[in-house]
Amino acid sequence: MNSLHIKPNYLNNYQSKNRGYLKNYLNKVSILIFIIFPPFYVCSQNLLNGPNDIVFDPSNKCYLIANWAGNNIVVIDSLGNQSYYRSNITHAHGMETKDSILFVASYHNLLLLNLYSSSTIVSIFVPGSEYLGHIALDSLYYVYITDWSARKLFRIDLNNQTSTTLYTFNSIPVGISYEENNNRIILLTLVENAPILAYNITGGNIDTVRNTNIDDPDAICKDSNGNYCVTSFTENIVYRFEGDFSSEPEIISTGHGGPSGIGYNKPDNVIGVTNYNFNSIDLIPLSPNNVKSEKNIQLECYYLIQNYPNPFNPTTTIKYDIPERSFTTLKIYDVLGNEIETLVNEEKPVGTYEITWLAESLPSGVYFYQLNAGDFIETKKMVLMK
């Protein structure tokens, strides 16, 4: 049994504004409580079924994935183990977290769940909605949600549980992100050569921020450097824009399968992407804070880096550092300790190396890779999900 003290930072702001209703139900999770964590049933099988969005929970160091087709939310821990976080979430789509609350778009409803226990705090019905999509939160804690079927942008006031239709589109609105410095919502639409749009919260108008050659951009998130990462559902590409959208985007990842959701893991500087068509996720390190620069040839120690993507299907990349000339082996093992494949078996000079492993002929499951160089031995875990 675990003792948790959950105290949302935004509560004091709303108390000062006399936003009484929100205070009442947020107080339910702001007191000192004892929680038995929900039973996460760990399964070796792949539980992803139409994954549509992903968020990172830094307190539990895990990813939460909204299954649109599976009508549930799945949790994947740091070792790649999958389990059910919450069932009976009808057409779970967009998600966002704020302090101890998980916001989930579910068909006609916005759900507020206790992040730690998965219990429902409140369910808010959105009139005029058809299929609610991606979510953004502003600094005043209004919730913005796109509806890809009704082609609308909604705003929900958590104080009185009312919703307002802010805009109706001719095209299909999908991913959104709140931009505090300009008090606007950055918007994506599923069209060819889609422009980056912005809804001005003060003025209530839509502006074109930048024209692009991207087809069907679907999801968007912002990293700690202020850059925007955008998925293309049909191109199976992840792009990155500078924060002011002043230049052409760069491609940071390819080979996805209908990337419909994207989330940012700030502690590890990793982008998580859901592959709707593959029933999988990809984790993309942007510039991991635990990885040395590949340009630094004066390496201080041996280092085996976590493979990426992980989980993967069917290829993944493994990187490692060799600080002095050493005879090096890199081998793959199954969960029973059987050697599956030898990737490296030769003397290596000083440097940073990477190798791609193809596991096309192997079944889904947990595998291990072991680096043996000089007196150094290290083993890491990876997960193949087909």
Convert 174-237 into a string of H (helix), E (strand) and C (coil): EEEEEEHHHCEEEEEECCCCCCEEEEECCCCCEEEEECCCCCCEEEEEECCCCCEEEEECCCCE
Highest mean predicted confidence (pLDDT) among 70-84, 144-158, 241-255: 144-158
CB of 185 closer than 8 Å to CB of 136? yes
What's the CA gap between 278 and 65, in Å, rounded? 14
Report the chain's mean pLDDT, rounded to a whole number.
84
pLDDT of 16 reads 35
Tokens of 18: 């006399």
For tokens 């709140």, what's the residue? Answer: 178
**pLDDT for residue 70 is more than 60:** yes
DSSP class of 385: -
What's the CA gap between 386 and 384, in Å, rounded? 7
pLDDT range class, residue 26, cuts 50, 70, 90: very low
Strand order in the sheet with 259-265: 259-265, 270-275, 280-285
| Domains contained in the chain, CATH given | 1-116 (no CATH), 303-384 (2.60.40.1930)
Beta-sheet pairing, 259-265 with 250-254 = unpaired
Q: Identify any residues that bridge with 143 across adjacent strands, giving them in sequence order.
A: 137, 156
Q: Identify any residues that bridge with 355 across adjacent strands, giving them in sequence order.
A: 318
What's the CA gap between 260 and 245, in Å, rounded? 21
pLDDT range class, residue 45, cuts 50, 70, 90: low
Closest to 176 measured CA to CA, from 120, 133, 113, 124: 133
- Region 103-117 average pLDDT: 96
Closest to 262 measured CA to CA, from 286, 230, 217: 230
What's the CA gap between 217 and 1, in Å, rounded? 43
Tokens of 159: 């104080």
- Region 313-321 average pLDDT: 90
pLDDT of 300 reads 55
| Cα 287–chain centre separation | 16
Those residues whose C-beta lies under 8 Å from the C-beta of residue 155, and which sit 6 or more positions away, are 142, 143, 144, 163, 164, 166
- Region 157-163 average pLDDT: 93
What SS3 state is found at 277? Answer: coil
Which value, to the nearest 10 degrees, does the dihedral of the CA atoms of residues 42, 44, 45, 51 take? 60
Peptide bond just before 349 cis, omega within 30 deg? no
pLDDT of 167 reads 97
pLDDT range class, residue 14, cuts 50, 70, 90: very low
pTM of the model: 0.67
Those residues whose C-beta lies under 8 Å from the C-beta of residue 362, and which sit 6 or more positions away, are 314, 340, 384
**pLDDT for residue 368 is more than 60:** yes
In degrees, to the nearest 5, what angle opens at C-alpha 98 toward C-alphas 265 and 207?
Answer: 85
What's the CA gap between 105 and 130, in Å, rounded? 11
pLDDT of 272 reads 94
CB of 49 closer than 8 Å to CB of 279? yes
What's the CA gap between 250 and 349, in Å, rounded? 32
pLDDT of 297 reads 34
**pLDDT for residue 184 is more than 60:** yes
| Cα 73–chain centre separation | 13
What's the CA gap between 138 and 123, in Å, rounded? 19
**Amino acid in position 267:** P
